[in-house]
């Protein structure tokens, strides 16, 4: 992944990978676990909202 286009946040703090010289290790197992949880939550929320819209169409 290349995030070099925006190396700082909206408060102009450097991201973790800019302050390090060389490679930075990322825990991919944790990354996958967190994004899987986010995916499941968003899927549940979108299903819920979709069914609300469907019920409004039938009223």
Domains of the chain: which residue ranges? 25-57
Give percent helix, percent strand, percent coil of the chain, each to the nearest 5: 60, 5, 40
10-residue stretch averages of pLDDT, the chain, 59 residues long: 60 65 78 95 94 80
47/41 Cα distance (integer angstroms): 10
Question: What totals of helices (H) and strands (E) does the chain contain, helices first?
Answer: 2, 0
The reported pLDDT for the residue numbered 25 is 77
The reported pLDDT for the residue numbered 36 is 97
pTM of structure: 0.51
């Amino acid at each position: 992944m290349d995030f070099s286009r925006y190396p700082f946040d909206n408060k102009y703090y450097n991201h973790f990978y800019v302050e390090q010289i060389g490679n930075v290790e990322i825990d991919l197992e944790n990354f996958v676990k967190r994004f899987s949880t986010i995916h499941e939550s968003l899927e549940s929320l979108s299903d819920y909202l979709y069914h609300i819209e469907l019920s409004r169409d039938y009223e």
